[in-house]
Amino acid sequence: MSDNKEKLTPEKLKQIQQLQQMMAMAAKDGKVPGGLPPGGLPPGFPGMKKPSKWSLKGMFIGTLQGMQGGVKFIDQFVNFITKQDGDKTNDVIKNARSPILFGTFVIFFFVLVGVVWSATAPLDSAAVAIGTVISKSQLKQINHQEGGVLEKFYVEVGDRVEKGDKLLEFDDTKMHSEYEIILNKYRIYLAIETRLTAEINDDPEITYPKFLLDDQSVPEVAKIIETQNSMFYSKHEITVAEKASIEQKVKQTNLQIDAQNARKVALNKTREIVQDRLEASKKLSKKGIIKKTDLLNLEEKEAGTLGELAIADIEIAKMHQEIIKSNIELINLDNQVSTRAHQELKEVQLSLAEAKERLVLLKDALSRVIVRSPVDGVVNNLYHHTVRSVIQQGQPIVDISPTADSLVIEVKLEPRLISDIKVGRLAKIRFSAFKSRTTPLFMGEVVSMSPDIVIDPRQQNNPTLANGYYLARIEIDMDAFEEIAKTRNLELLPGMQAEVQIITGTRTMLQYLLDPVFDAMFKGFKEK
């Protein structure tokens, strides 16, 4: 305290205590000691200053005065109930009365504050369940479609792998041998198809596809191409020779027709001459110049000429028929070649399709001889550990826990809780692996719910989930988690257990206490 301020001496302190006692006694009678203003010491009393109304000291003095007034009210209320006069009470009761009344007032005050708080303060209501942290795409269980004999291991449990990394390798001896056999069949069928197509189109040579030409240096492929070329040219030469024979026959027949036509010309000329002589002979015969036998000879010669002309026409018609027949043979020859080629092509294409399908399957199987990781993650489990062990078809071989995938919490909910839980509800999350004393609650959101209950035989020994449960997924607020995780060196891993409180609404403490009572009243107050 500075020197310019008045110091508080023991005498002045004694005066202050006496005045406070006088004020306490006067407060019981509702009077103020003479010479003092109502409610306190005089403003100029040494060592005392009138505090500000809104200062800490002023609020404390105001609270004390309020409590004194409350105690006085309770005291008067008790006297009124008991019909006692305070002046007739003995000194012991008088001295104990004030602390008892003060304590009663304090209890009443806190009870009143508790009732007001319980009626107004909101509290979250929540459905509590235990969940497990899983990858959003869940654990990757890798199996082998064909199975086989394990040849080599590239990883062990706990190894981190990236997408495409080698995990295991199978023995491919048998599969590779079968692939080579089917590949050779496919090449043969493809070469035959190409040759037959060239025969149908009457191409002068075979144009092989790039698939065969690229492997032409392979002895098997070169032999296939040579064989098909030989067959193509051999059949082509046979067909050409047969066509040439028929065409030669047609040519000869045409020459014979020309000869018959020339003979007909000569016969027609002879006939004209015979007819002229016959006309002249008929005139001379009437005059008796020539004999009748000469006339008959000329008529006979004319008839013979007409007969020869008719025979020539018949021969020419036959020759035309021969030409038509030869042309039909040419057409039939082309049709036979085309029909045979089409029939063979149809059969070859069926075999080619089967070989191609089998080849694709074997090629795909060979690509799976080396098992690779489908995602970035950690090797969680190896189902086999022995080289040359036999793996059955479809049997699981490796489990991978994805690391690049986002994590969610999978929660099993009792059916009785489902009416209050919807997609979009907020959830409070506490991870059992983290210290609850130093790690706060994390927030999440319900992102999916199973449409119906899930029956899991493994839960038969669990009384709460034996009859089924709803499966919910909760997405963690990773931004808030990462912010805290950086400062406290926390890492969220698949498989961690989490206690989840899904917020279903808000109620006051009074509602928590009274709702069971009201429910019991609703069930009990029924008229029979």
Instruction: List pLDDT tens digits, range 212-229.
Output: 999 888 999 999 999 999
Q: Is residue 35 part of a domain?
A: no
- CATH of residue 250's domain is 1.10.287
- pLDDT tens digit string along 76-94? 666 666 655 555 555 555 5
What's the mean pLDDT in 324-334? 83
Is pLDDT larger for residue 86 or for residue 472?
472
Identify the band that residue 184 occupies on the pLDDT scale cut at 50, 70 and 90: very high
For residue 528, is it within any domain?
A: no
User: 378 or 11: which carries more pLDDT confidence?
Assistant: 378
The residue that leads in pLDDT, 399 or 96, is: 399
Q: Mean pLDDT throughout 456-468? A: 79
Q: What is the DSSP string of 195-244?
A: HHHHHHTT-SS----HHHHTTTTSHHHHHHHHHHHHHHHHHHHHHHHHHH
What is the extent of the structural domain holding 158?
140-164+374-400
**Is the distance from CB of 444 to CB of 476 less than 8 angstroms?**
yes
Structure tokens at 275: 């007819």
What's the mean pLDDT in 66-72? 65
Same-domain pairing of 219 and 336 = yes
pLDDT at 194: 94
Establish if 264 belongs to a structural domain.
yes
Alpha helices, DSSP H, located in 417-508: 478-488
Higher pLDDT, 9 or 149: 149
Average pLDDT over residues 321-326: 86
Specify the pLDDT at position 34.
47
Nearest to 501 by CA among 431, 404, 397: 431
Residue 66 has pLDDT above 70, yes or no: no
Higher confidence at residue 297 or residue 223? 223
Query: Same structural domain for residues 357 and 382?
Result: no
Instruction: Specify whether the CB–CB gap between 399 and 142 falls below 8 A.
Output: yes
Does residue 190 sit in the same domain as residue 258? yes
The two tokens of residue 501 are 């409180």
Strand ranges across the sheet with 370-372? 370-372, 166-170, 148-153, 390-391
Same domain, yes or no, for 303 and 250? Answer: yes
Q: Are residues 349 and 259 in the same domain?
A: yes
pLDDT higher than threshold 60 for residue 193: yes
42 located within any domain:
no
CA torsion sign, 515 to 519 to 520 to 521?
A: positive
Looking from the CA of 362 toward its CB, the CA atoms found within 13 Å total 19
- 469: domain CATH number is 2.40.30.170
pLDDT of residue 415: 86
Q: CB of 446 within 8 A of CB of 422?
A: yes
Note whether 493 and 358 are same-domain residues.
Answer: no
Residue 209 counted as domain residue: yes
Regarding whether 226 and 188 lie in a shared domain, the answer is yes
- Return the minimum-mean-pLDDT range out of 120-124, 129-133, 135-139: 120-124
- Per-residue confidence (pLDDT) for residue 116, from 0 to 100: 76
**Ranges 263-267, 340-344, 479-483, 513-517: which has the least confidence:** 513-517
In the prediction, which pLDDT does 255 show?
86
What pLDDT is stored for residue 192 in this prediction? 94
- Higher local confidence (pLDDT), 256 or 69: 256
Both tokens of 450, joined, read: 């199973």
The reported pLDDT for the residue numbered 190 is 94
- Shared domain for 226 and 328, answered yes or no, is yes
Average pLDDT over residues 429-444: 84
Do 278 and 202 lie in one domain? The reply is: yes
- Interacting residues of 8 by C-beta distance below 8 A, sequence separation 6+: 46, 47
Task: Select the highest-mean-pLDDT range: 11-20, 428-437, 515-524.
Answer: 428-437
Average pLDDT, the chain: 79
User: What does the DSSP assignment read for 71-97?
Assistant: HHHHHHHHHHHHT--GGGS-HHHHHHH
Residue 311, classed as helix, strand or coil, is helix
Are 258 and 156 within one domain?
A: no
The 10s digit of each residue's pLDDT in 148-166 is: 889 899 999 888 898 989 9
What are the E-state strand segments in 20-147?
122-135, 140-143
Nearest CA to 272 among 298, 297, 295?
298
Residue 47 has pLDDT above 60, yes or no: no
Helix, coil or strand: residue 352:
helix
Q: Is the pLDDT of residue 511 over 70?
A: no
Number of structural domains in the chain: 3
Let me know whether 476 and 350 are in one domain: no
Residues 151 and 284 in one domain: no
Contacts of residue 218, defined as CB under 8 A and 6 or more positions apart, other chains included, come to none
How many percent of the chain have pLDDT more than 70? 73
pLDDT, residue 207, reads 92
Per the confidence metrics, is the pTM higher than 0.85? Answer: no
In a domain, 269, yes or no: yes
Q: What is the mean pLDDT of residues 281-294?
A: 69
Spatial CA neighbour of 407 closest among 447, 380, 464: 447
Predicted confidence at residue 30, as pLDDT, reads 47
Per-residue tokens: 303: 């008839």
List the one residue out of 30, 29, 35, 31 whose CA is nearest residue 15.
35
In a domain, 100, yes or no: no
In a domain, 152, yes or no: yes
